Amino acid sequence: MDFPRIIRVGGILFEGFELLDFYGPMEMFGLLEGAAEITILAEHAGPVRSSAGPAGLADATMESADGFDVLLVPGGIGTRKQMVNEKFLTELTRLAEASRIVATVCTGSLLVARTGRLDGRKATSNKRVFQLVSSHAPSVEWVRRARWIENG
């Protein structure tokens, strides 16, 4: 897959996101030394509290953004609330459809699954909450014994 000279990366924050799920992958893009442009998004710009307490800072609203080369959706305890947040899911669906690659970490797969974008595709998630995740998106081909899946 050919990428532009500068990769546009969008990261989604929501109340209760997991710090490592978000900042670990973002560090990887940050190490590309000017080859990646990172935008942090949330329903509302400004501070967004993580599951561990420290807040991340959203640069922009999800609504104000267009698609990205890579869209990252982290997991965290906050996914349970967002999986029924229609405004959040509408914007996530729009951004996922407009992005070249959508990547999830852990229970972030549940949020993307709730948009319908994983229907008929293989996906995996955190094993401690695998039953919860898979029960809320039965049209996804959930794979329990996998650490990651690349599926289109």
In a domain, 94, yes or no: yes
pLDDT band at 124 (very low <50, low <70, confident <90, very high): confident
Indicate which CATH number applies to the domain containing 44: 3.40.50.880
* Residue 93 lies inside a defined structural domain of this protein: yes
Residue 114, classed as helix, strand or coil, is helix
Res. 71: pLDDT tops 90: yes
142 in any annotated domain? no
Q: Is residue 20 part of a domain?
A: yes
SS3 of 46, please? strand
Residue 48 lies in domain: 7-106
Handedness of CA 6, 21, 134, 111 (dihedral sign): negative
Measure Cα distances from 45 to 48, 84, 95 in Å.
8, 21, 16
And the tokens for 58?
């959203």
User: How far, in whole angstroms, is CA 12 from its chain's centroid?
Assistant: 6
| DSSP-based three-state secondary structure for 116 | coil
Helix count and strand count (H, E) for the chain: 5, 9
Chain segment 12-59, per-residue pLDDT in tens:
999 999 999 999 999 999 999 889 999 999 999 999 999 999 999 999
Residue 77 falls within a domain, yes or no? yes
DSSP 12: E
Residue 32: inside a domain, yes or no? Answer: yes
Q: How many CB atoms lie within 10 A of CB 152?
A: 6
- Predicted local distance difference test score (pLDDT) of residue 2: 66
Q: Is residue 63 part of a domain?
A: yes
Total domain count for the chain? 1
* 11-50 core/surface letters (b: 16 or more CB in 10 A; e: else): bbbbbbbbebbbbebbeebeeeeeebebebbbbeeeebeb
Residue 34 lies in a domain: yes
Asked whether residue 4 carries a pLDDT value surpassing 80, the answer given is: no
